[in-house]
Structure 1
């Protein structure tokens, strides 16, 4: 079993049981306790769990409002520039999908003067922002509101998404690597985003420099599924040069 798949399973077990013991999970996954402890260390560094004596637990929950607010403030200037740089990829009359990220929210704020757009989103804050423009038809994908988030996730919106064929999907991610592509820490949100990727003509990744070459748990878009990457001037140039077949836009 590859390490990303194993860590994905660890997070599935942890989300279901709220805690885990190294000795039990090492047997269940058929790996050594040393390997499992290393996995837990990496997952803790990514903020996905908290290690305890002999195991791990989920991070202490915070309120949805405070978490989304603090996330939106991280690299805020870069996110605003990335949102502005994404505008040329939006045309009147299109159907686009915006994920629930704080970067997509910055793009949503700039759509106030667009006409006859249909915007599909699983972001509550994004949907509320878009209602400021009466010429935008807003479709909210139903799902489960995850603690510590402003997004609706899960596959309750699968039927709706199967009927929508959008022009562009604008999405951020918890991490992006050349091996795993775009990935999120929430398995359930990643599954929803996979459906979005499969129902669009173009995927545009909105990633500030902190997301590049960063690991996460669940892949929702392979590198060859990404048409364009919009990032900021602090992005690692060597990493950008390693990407093949992707249009790179540096926001300024």
Structure 2
């Protein structure tokens, strides 16, 4: 059983580049101590580097399948979060949408909006909204990242300088009250920080597996969020500190109907 579990964890690391302890606990039905022992063994083998709340792969990510596989994780939660996030977007808004599988789900729920402007560095989001009559779509050019088909780098930053946004929708790699919002990739984190600076209202989305996780690169302090949307699997004691900071926290129910 241990070997099978560790091979499954290795497959996840090869596909998406990182794992979260709590998510693995829920997935395999074992204790957090068992998962930490698994990650310690993998770290000794040079396969991972442990971080707070999880581990990141030291091996190349299999980028051609990573995005597809990530879309399969927490699907009911992502749909519920997407519904709640879409309800915060109004006709006439100019919205920056960061890359991610949940933000793509949000984009799909905005297709029938009117007089909406969307700015994104995500090719899947661009394609999702390209044929919508009521939505003007601007795709930021730049260095293409194969893992999630997004752009970054100096060209994307220069393109972004042309715009200001009323709202930003950003997927969260990790979130803690002390370290705020963090992410796993250096180039993308630079652009995400600029997204935050360009936006009047920041809407952060994070399923329960992202709480208590600190990734390598800082995006913004937690109190920079105006809204934080999570799923019903997040314990109140994990999201209450953000309420106390003045962030409006929305707990989305997984059985919420689609728009």
TM range (shorter): 0.7 to 0.9
Distance 1:69 1:44, change over 3 A: farther
Which residue in the other structure is 1:14 paired with? Answer: none
Alignment of 1:97-116 (within 5 A): 97-116=96-115
Alpha-carbon contact 2:100-2:148 (below 8 Å) kept: no
Match of 2:197 in 1: 198
- Gaps of at least 5 residues in structure 1 are 1-36, 51-58
**TM alignment of 1:229-248, pairs within 5 A:** 229-243=228-242, 244-248=245-249
**Is 1:72 equivalent to 2:40 in the alignment?**
no
Q: 1:169-248 maps to which residues of 2 (within 5 A)?
A: 169-243=168-242, 244-248=245-249
SS at match of 1:73: coil
- Greater shift, 147-156 or 120-129, is seen at 147-156
Matches within 5 A, 1:157-172: 157-172=156-171
Count of residue correspondences: 207
Asked whether the 8 Å contact 1:155–1:191 carries over to 2, the reply is no
- In the alignment, what sits opposite 1:53? none
Q: Which residue of 1 aligns with 2:22?
A: none
Segments of structure 2 that go 5 or more residues without pairing to the other structure are 1-43, 254-259
CA contact 2:118–2:138 (8 Å) conserved in 1: yes
Question: How does 1:14-53 map onto structure 2 within 5 Å?
Answer: 41-43=49-51, 46-50=54-58
- Secondary structure of 1:107's counterpart equals helix
- Distance in 1 separating the partners of 2:55 and 2:99: 19
| Paired position in structure 2 for 1:145 | 144
Q: CA RMSD in A?
A: 2.1
Q: What SS is found at the alignment partner of 2:49?
A: helix
Classify 1:46/1:212 alpha carbon distance in 2 versus 1 (closer, same or farther; 3 Å): same
Q: Distance in 2 between matches of 1:110 and 1:163?
A: 26
Question: Residue 172 of structure 1: CA displacement?
Answer: 0.6
Length-normalised TM-score, structure 2: 0.75
Return the alpha-carbon distance in structure 2 between the equivalents of residues 112 and 222 of structure 1.
31
